[in-house]
Chain A
Amino acid sequence: MNRTYDFSVNATQFIADDGSLIKPLPSTVDETILLQAYQEMVLIRIFDQKAIALQRTGKLGTYPSSLGQESIGIAIGLAMQACDVFVPYYRDQATQYLRGVSLTEMLQYWGGDERGSHYQNCTQDMPICVPIATQFCHAAGIATAFKIRGEKRVSVVTGGDGSTSKGDFLESLNLSGVWQLPMVMVINNNQWAISTRREVQSHSETLAQKAISAGIPGVQVDGNDFVSLYDAMLTALKRARAGKGPTLIEAISYRLSDHTTADDATRYRSHDELKKGWDREPIKRLRDYLLSLNLWDPDKENQLQEKVKEQVDNAVTAYLAIQPEPATAMFDHLFKKLPAPMQAQYDEVKRLHLS
């Protein structure tokens, strides 16, 4: 048989696990952005720790930690432009924060209060959506709208490695190629979908190569190396904005936490594996690199820690002060105007709980 197509997938890494440089930094990256990325990553980690503490004391609902994956969200958020639309999945606190979702809003959402998705500062971004992979279709629709209207905007969508098994992902990926949509899909390959290993999701060597079947570029980057993903994002966004179509990026990371606070990963994952995961973690890596350039020092670290803790504490205080919505709130946003036949139910709830 004649071979009609060959493919390979490039994997990119600039900063190694130990903070040393593997190859020269790309021109898209300078000291300012590295310092900013580092500080934002620290903020998200401290926020994450706080959120888990709140959950453990009954002040927050189930919460999915992003421990060890902070650089993915920060790279996406810093690379995107304000006019773009972000279509998140539930582990995207970092990007959401950079997009303008406040820490208080995030706590509110995970605290079981729908107003947490009413984003005051990024009115076009989609809310978190719990069903796996459905968001890829929404992102394709958003990109289609941009294309129809000739807008130079990009929809950026994320999902876990598990999400690539779903039809929603594959169907959106396929369409993005056919219609050459201004869209960037980032797979956070943190190796696990609850207790299910990456290998159980797909026998393909990389998840990036799924792009090949759609006829679009697929790249794999070290997601724990801020520089790799940030650079790949800029390239993909530029492509999309220039009308050259979508990109699939597989960002390799590792889930250092339980899947959520409702999970216990010790049931299915070895201590050794977790320990190895810590060697790759993104924050220490970038800090080591910055230290080696004398761009960072322990004093700066202390100041940052203090500042960030205060910021997180303020968000928590604000969150805890928010009164729950009244019982009737469940009717208030179901339709723009409550349909007349539902008035009796509304009145019943009011009588039961608000009188």
Chain B
Amino acid sequence: MNTKVNIRQADTADIKEAPTPVNQTMVEAINLALAHAMEEDENVVMLGEDVGANGGVFRATVDLRQEFGLKRVMDTPLAETLISGITIGMASQGLKPIAEIQFMGFIYAAMEQIVSHASRLRNRTRGRISCPMVIRAPFGGGIHAPEHHSESTEALFAHIPGIRVVVPSSPLRAYGLLLSAIRDPDPVLFLEPKRIYRAVAQPVLDDGKALPLDTCFTLREGSDLTLISWGAMIQETLQAANTLSEKGVSCEVIDVASISPLDTNTLECSAVKTGRCIIIHEAAHSGGVGAEIAAHLAEHCLLDLKAPIKRVTGFDTIMPYLRNEGYYLPSVERIVDAANEVMDF
């Protein structure tokens, strides 16, 4: 997949000049992309709580302050409304600010700015002023954190026109998608699945190559069943696909990656091909992005479907504290169960 493409291209380049791919975790890949973007464009600046001296509480911005200085890596007061609001102001003046909201669970104070202003500035001014900003926020559960550190509320933002919502699921996609997000002329909410910040590592080439936004990635081809997911849940989804393939069920696995706007074309093609779909997300069930995908597929591919579309999701409950959080997150077992149901329909 992407790994191979990138490495092959590096092989053909001048060995001395080309950087070599090094094993990176997702959080390291994010750091690489941030450094790359700051290096290539002096308008790129970064701000947030603890992003400077501490390098971010997850170390995503580590060393950037030493490298790029105080004017480009700014520790702000503890104020999310302010962080998102000034980010909009900076972006309107041609800077490319990247704001970090420490945890997505604390983004709500910033919502008014994001919804009422970031997403609308271009439309409001009929293109005169745009908002080329990125808001990064670690999100999702499963890291044994206290309350409000496990939120997965991407659907709240996917509902808002004028803002992109992007979720990487691997170090490579984190690197490539973050670069596109930063280079994009419009606001992007870049949600980082912190459960897999360090769980997986793969060779990432720091070549500045971006991956496209607004498109899904097909991680695995199959003919019987389409598994659709994003972010950290891709791990369980791929495991379930392995288990299912051992039982003779051929799964196609799609990483949605851009939650909004949604690449419905890839999803439709796969649904038509396999005739069966399961959507897996850790956000609460009702009103989640899974509902949007299911509705879209029902609307456009109904007659190609061999079984009802199923969702395997978090529950419509508040994510329990750490002692019981495992009960909330969708498991491989639940995905396999749902697949069996769909296959037996």
Contact = CB atoms under 8 A, between A and B. Distances in A.
Interface of A: 61-62, 90, 110-114, 130-133, 162-163, 165-168, 193-196, 200-202, 262-263, 267-268, 324-325, 327, 329-331, 334, 342, 345, 349, 352-353
A165 B324 contact: no
Nearest to B49: A196
Interface stretch (B16-24, B75-83, B176-184, B260-268): B75-83
B107 to A, nearest CB: 10
11 contacts: A130-B146, A131-B148, A163-B78, A166-B109, A167-B109, A168-B109, A194-B50, A196-B77, A201-B77, A202-B77, A325-B323
Contacts of A131: 105-106, 108-109, 148
B54 A330 contact: no
B53 A267 contact: yes
A353 B320 CA distance: 15
Given A113-B323, A345-B285, A162 B57 contact: no
B321 A114 contact: yes
Nearest to B320: A330
Contacts of A167: 79, 81-82, 109
Contacts of A194: 49-50, 54, 57
A330 B327 contact: yes
Interface in B76-97: 76-82
A12 to B, nearest CB: 26
Nearest to B328: A330
Contacts of B109: 131, 166-168
A349 B49 contact: no
A162 B323 CA distance: 29
Task: Identify the interface centre among A112, A132, A168, A202: most chain B CB within 10 Å of its CB.
Answer: A112
Contacts of B328: 330
The 7 closest A-B pairs by CB, nearest first: A112-B322, A195-B54, A165-B77, A162-B78, A112-B323, A327-B327, A112-B321
Contacts of A352: 327, 333-334
Interface residues of B: mostly helix, strand, loop or mixed? Answer: loop
B146 A62 contact: yes
B53 A162 contact: no
B52 interface: yes
Given A132-B78, A166-B109, A330-B320, 14 more contacts: A113-B321, A113-B324, A114-B321, A130-B147, A130-B149, A131-B105, A131-B148, A165-B82, A201-B77, A201-B78, A262-B57, A325-B324, A331-B317, A334-B316
Given A131-B148, A194-B50, A349-B327, A330 B77 contact: no
Interface string B137-175: 000000011111100000000000000000000000000
A9 to B, nearest CB: 20
Task: Identify the interface centre among B108, B109, B147: most chain A CB within 10 Å of its CB.
Answer: B147
Contacts of A345: 285, 315-317
A97 B27 CA distance: 39
A113 B323 CA distance: 6
A117 to B, nearest CB: 10
A112 B50 CA distance: 25
B55 to A, nearest CB: 7
B148 to A, nearest CB: 5
B50 A195 contact: yes
Contacts of B323: 111-113, 324-325
Contact of A130 (B52, B57, B78, B148): B148
A191 to B, nearest CB: 14
A195 B76 CA distance: 11
B75 A200 contact: yes
B318 interface: yes
